[in-house]
Amino acid sequence: MTMTVLRTGPLAVFKDAGRPGHAHQGVAPSGAVDRAAYARANVLAGNPPGAAVLECTLGGLRVRFDEAAVAVLTGTDAVLTVDGERTGVEEVVEVPAGATVSVTMPRRGLRSYLAVRGGFAVPPVLGSRSTDQLGMGPARPAPGDVLRIGPVSGKPGDAPALAPTVDGPLEVDLGPRDDWFTAEAIETFLRAEYTVTPASNSVGLRLDGPPLTRARTTELPSEGVVRGSVQVPPDGLPIVFQADHPVTGGYPVIAVLTPESADRAAQLRPGATVRFTLAPH
């Protein structure tokens, strides 16, 4: 089974569960930026965990299925249209052979996940079919590309509850370098509002707002960082690392988002307001 790409929209890349275990080679884990939405897409499509999907930023993707297929879209309130007919949010759609399927622009959220039953059978790189911001992984799909769909190996399952909205503060655990900041900076971090800047991408959310003052001015040796790390460079403006983050960082990490909040952060558009709060324990 194949699918032909007619238009990619602003950005469409292959994503799966990522390639952990290669940090010693300088390779980021990558994977879907919103992991919960990615997992939902595969459950609804009847794919096994880890199957490759297309991560679509702000819709605009248009494809033609050369054979009958089953597809589903998750992550935002964008929907699929089949030969111009709109479907429902997160509706599992049976697509006739030869039909053109498009992803609408979402009103809420940023990244949608298109899963096709069978998954996209693109060649893995270091064990993963994810394409990261630096170009590791399969080439980004382009108009005219014919994508092969893998064999069907499962049936649609009961998807978990709908993901939470992007509203509300992002939950964090302080550290590991919160002691590098003044008490006033910690208080500011937990009560101030920040704005997502247009310089944000799948590597990190760059935020604008009150700068955070360090208690230590010495240089920090580079150390490992994880998805959801909130790193603070010398200008004091936080950067929230996303799926394609570097494996090390040389600026202190004031806090780390919970996995659920890291998924929510993946759906924040430029201009969105961000607040942080301590995760309950």
Residue range(s) of every CATH 2.60.120 domain in the chain = 2-148
For residue 70, the surrounding DSSP H or E stretch is strand 69-74
Distance CA 137, CA 143 (A): 18
Residue range(s) of every CATH 2.40.100.10 domain in the chain = 170-278
pLDDT at 156: 62
Q: Could you tell me the strand order of the sheet in which 204-208 lies?
A: 273-274, 194-196, 204-208, 239-241, 229-231, 253-257, 170-174, 276-278
Structure tokens at 38: 């990615």
- Does the structural domain 170-278 have CATH classification 3.40.630.10? no
The per-residue pLDDT for range 39-70, each reduced to its tens digit, is: 999 999 999 999 999 999 999 999 999 999 99
For residue 12, the surrounding DSSP H or E stretch is strand 11-15
Tell me the CATH number for domain 2-148: 2.60.120
Structure tokens at 17: 């569960």
- Per 3-state DSSP, what percentage of the chain is helix, strand, and coil (rounded to 5)? 10, 30, 60
The single-letter DSSP state of residue 214 is B
User: What sign for the dihedral angle of Cα 250, 251, 256, 260?
Assistant: negative
Report the predicted TM-score, pTM, of the whole model to 2 decimal places: 0.94
Taking the CB of residue 142, how many other CB atoms lie within 10 A of it?
A: 10
Structure tokens at 56: 């679509």
Q: What percent of the chain has pLDDT over 90?
A: 87
Structure tokens at 271: 């201009």
Q: Answer whether 111's CB lies under 8 Å from 79's CB.
A: no
**Is residue 20 reached through a cis peptide bond, with omega within 30 degrees of 0 on the bond before it?**
no
Q: Has residue 163 got a pLDDT over 60? A: no
